[in-house]
Amino acid sequence: MTRRRHVIAVLENDAVIRRAVASLLAAHGYATELYASAEDYLGVATSAARCLVVDIRLGDISGIELGRHLAATGYKFPIIFITASDDQTLRNQAIELGCVAFLLKSMLGDRLIEAVAKAIAQTSGGIR
């Protein structure tokens, strides 16, 4: 079965993890846009991404702050949050934003692919 190459934006400040997530997604037929920070993503005029995979702890602007900013400016699209810390407060904040999934980095694999497929199913076009 040939899958259309949906684009997934990956926002992760750790280059090793960013490349690993991109490789995992590519192995399942997805194309990626890679960003080291929320600022890098916000600086892009257009994106072909159908959903975002966002690290909770990105740096100056956290993943949660990015999600709030995008929602406040009218962008509505699926976000999958990833984190190394299973902090219940952050999980609750992510759920309040309506995330597709809140995943621990140590357990990505199939869970990430399932969440991306769910996110893609929720969108009918690009996000910006």
pLDDT at 124: 58
pLDDT at 112: 86
Mean pLDDT, the chain cut into blocks of 10 residues (128 residues total): 75 95 93 96 89 93 94 89 91 92 86 86 61
Alpha-carbon distance of 78 to 122, in angstroms, equals 7
pLDDT at 117: 85
pLDDT at 7: 94
pLDDT at 115: 87
pLDDT at 107: 80
> What's phi and psi for 64, nearest 5 deg?
-65, -45
Within 10 A of 43 (CB to CB), how many other CB atoms are there?
9
Residue type at position 35:
Y
Whats the size of the chain, residue-wise? 128
pLDDT at 4: 62
| Residue 31 near residue 7 (C-beta atoms within 8 A) | yes
* Domain annotation for the chain: domains and CATH numbers: 7-122 (3.40.50.2300)
pLDDT at 126: 46
pLDDT at 2: 42
pLDDT at 127: 47
Within 10 A of 55 (CB to CB), how many other CB atoms are there?
26
Neighbouring residues of 20: CB distance < 8 A, sequence distance ≥ 6? none
